[in-house]
Amino acid sequence: MTEHGEAQCSTLRDRAARLQHDHRYDALRPLPRRRALVVVALGAIAALSGTLWLAGSAWLAALLWLVAVAGLVLLRRVVRETADLPDDALDERLVAVRDSAYRTAFATVAALCVAVLVPLWIAVDGFDYTVTAGNLHALLWAVILTTLTLPSAILAWTERDL
């Protein structure tokens, strides 16, 4: 490994170590509160997608977007950024826990895409449902925000000790 690479790894490990001893978000770490946070964050994403799909109020969409992003940031902090740190910054157990969360997240995103795209395809092809650019953007926003949030949400929902 180059000198620069080693320095980068060391910085990442230092960051991971700091996160392990970060007590600023302890109030949100008991399991019921973490799960409530997951429900709020994913609920905000669902409501935002619905609002954009139906071309609802721009103010409501902006508010829901803020709640969803705040939920994403808090979830990442509550799980000590475990889902986002690279292998070098985590021990073997945490790498296994993180990768397992990603497998669950992948299956969930794939199932959600099937659940949304197949009925939409049938509606468009069989019943001449009109899709607008706003509908497309609502779908893509939902996929982007859900994909960013889900791994940390799964860790927050399932991990006993954080």
Partner 1 sequence: MSRNEVEAVRQRWAAVFDDPGLAWARSRSRRRALCVLHWAVIGAVGVAGWLEPTLAWGLTGVGLLLVWFATYWLLSLSTRGVTEGPDTVLDERQRAERDHVHRRAYRVVLWMAMIGFVASWAVFEAAGVPVEGRQIGQLGVAALLLLTTLPTALLGWAPREGRDDD
Interacting residue ranges for partner 1, rule: CB under 8 A: 96, 98-100, 102-103, 105-106, 109-110, 113-114, 117-118, 120-121, 124-125, 128-133, 136-137, 140-141, 143-144, 147-148, 151
Q: How far is the CB of 1 from partner 1 (least distance, A)?
A: 17
- Cα–Cα separations (whole angstroms), residue 88 to 42, 78, 119: 29, 20, 42
Q: How far is the CB of 74 from partner 1 (least distance, A)?
A: 20
On whether the CB atoms of residues 138 and 57 are closer than 8 A, the answer is no
- Using the structure block, give the residue that is written with the tokens 């791994």: 151
Q: How far is the CB of 123 from partner 1 (least distance, A)?
A: 9
| Of residues 128 and 161, the one with the C-beta less far from partner 1 | 128
CA distance 102 to 90: 15
